[in-house]
Structure 1
């Protein structure tokens, strides 16, 4: 009788684990750059200081969430050119309501060069699909 109990219990446990599969159908979100509509940058920088750069973003729908900034030094241009984009997370839902809401976020920027900085804030793509930018030049004291 004990053997039958253990056999039935073992089968029940194995079937229980099989029905609780951890397999996932895939990611339920993806990343996308958000459109920057405005950036508040100081008129001048002081060498060695850290500044807060405030940015206004466009949140297109209620399935899109602001995540983080991507600030990159241009690989082909001067060391003082920074391309700034804001990465959003888009939840893959069946229905998303358009909100066209402006939200604000900020990032810290440390001035490590004495030459003027040029910021290129990603502001979306034009009708040809090419990236467009808001360019701001900030001299360093």
Structure 2
């Protein structure tokens, strides 16, 4: 009896699956940061808006998020876009800005490393900006 129930369940499971994939085809891609607007100094406990400019390679690229990693007072930041290659988008690159708020919680200087893409040897390069925290 258990075998019949198991086989019935297996047959129903196989025929109830929908194999068609109607989900949009996309992938994520990091975009190099071209420029940054950031204060020359910070005050402890304050929050600051930081603006990044990056080049969107085509209309198929849509801002998704910022990749943000911290290690003590160092921050590594990259722009991440979602790419929808099946959309028939224009291939005209355009500049786009994105902002984020940064709260100053530590004394000393903050070192921001904004990802600018790989060099000719495939090594990641960064725009490095050091911002001191004033008392």
TM-score range for the pair, normalised by the shorter chain length: 0.7 to 0.9
Match 1:97 to one of 72, 79, 90: 90
TM-score by length of 1: 0.76
Structure 1, gaps ≥5 residues long: 1-17
Deviations 1:56-87 (A, max 9, x none): 0110111111111122113xxxx101001111
Q: Which residue of 1 aligns with 2:122?
A: 129
Q: Which residue of 1 aligns with 2:74?
A: 81
Question: Between Structure 1 and Structure 2, whose CA radius of gyration is higher?
Answer: 1
Q: Is 1:37 matched with 2:30?
A: no
Structure 2, gaps ≥5 residues long: 1-14
Cα separation, 1, equivalents of 2:48 and 2:124: 26
Q: Which residue of 1 aligns with 2:50?
A: 53
Deviations 1:30-79 (A, max 9, x none): 111111100011000000111100110110111111111122113xxxx1
For 1:71, what is the secondary structure of its paired residue?
strand
For 1:93, what is the secondary structure of its paired residue?
helix
TM-score by length of 2: 0.80
Q: State the superposition RMSD in angstroms.
A: 2.2
**What is the number of residues matched between the two proteins?**
120
